[in-house]
Amino acid sequence: MERQGGSFGSGAGAGRVLISLEDLDSVAEGESLDSAGAAAADEGGNADEGGNGEEPVDEGLLAYWQDIGRMHQVDVPRDMAVPIQQMTRHNQSQDREMVPFTPIDHKKRADELLYEKRQNEKAKWACVTQNQSSYEQSTCLGFMKLMKYICHQNSSGLFLGMTVPIVTIVHTNQTRTELRPEVTMAYYLPTQFQDQTPQPFDAEVAIEEWPAHIIYARPFNGNTTEELILQEINQLAVHLDSPEWFLQDTFIVAGYNSPAAPNPHNEIWIIHSP
């Protein structure tokens, strides 16, 4: 499913799940694939075939993620087993392609970077839009669908590779005091797949061509809660000279690593209005 466009994000879906790039980071940075689920494997038995011709399922790793899910009162379905282990295996910083951009300008105060002005070129992104009861549920469900697309569930049959940041398009009310329920998770297609883009098997994953655009990016650290996102949006907005030139209710949260790590790195992006 491919869409051309000048908008940021589209689609819909439903579900109750838990998996994120941040959770994968905590395993990839702190534990090996085998040790992550070693204890659970003793109870879950030996690895078996995934049942659809894919690699054997690591029962211990699946049990490990299901335990995490229960802590958050959400379910991790069995069909996520192979994508989880593939993403965990490949989720090393040296394996990640950065989303390209051209820096244009920046504004600093003392040693603090208030924002960097950037040019993002036209590019294709895989997008999943969700409208769940909470920001966390929407982003978790969206990222799980992106994981499956990245991990072979596409027309090429290939593992596509990770790119960073993974971005989340959010919408606010007019006063920027509330996030609206609908969010869009988006994954930048690696350079080698920009011209010949593998198509997703899941109809809720849309390939969108985002137009060239200018953003203002402000870095921040910490877990991306709704409260912190709103705070960072408003802090960036006050530093922009002409707020009428920017989209007033659509913003982007860019995540680079795990909030479980010390001072996880994120950014808020404000989009210049065309």
- Measure CA of the first residue to CA of the last residue in the chain; give whole Å: 26
- Whether this model's pTM surpasses 0.95: no
- 260 neighbors 25 (Cβ within 8 angstroms): yes
Which has more confidence, 90 or 106?
106
Q: Give 4-44 pLDDT, tens digit per residue.
A: 555 665 443 333 344 455 555 554 444 443 444 433 333 43
E strands, the chain, are 2-4, 97-98, 102-109, 112-120, 123-130, 163-164, 166-171, 183-188, 206-210, 213-221, 246-255, 265-272
Q: Give 41-75 pLDDT, tens digit per residue.
A: 334 334 344 444 456 778 888 887 777 656 655 67
Structural domains in the chain plus CATH codes = 2-12+98-272 (3.20.80.10), 21-93 (no CATH)
Q: How many CB atoms sit inside 10 A of residue 256's CB? A: 18
CB-based contacts of 143, cutoff 8 Å, min separation 6: 19, 20, 21, 128, 166, 185
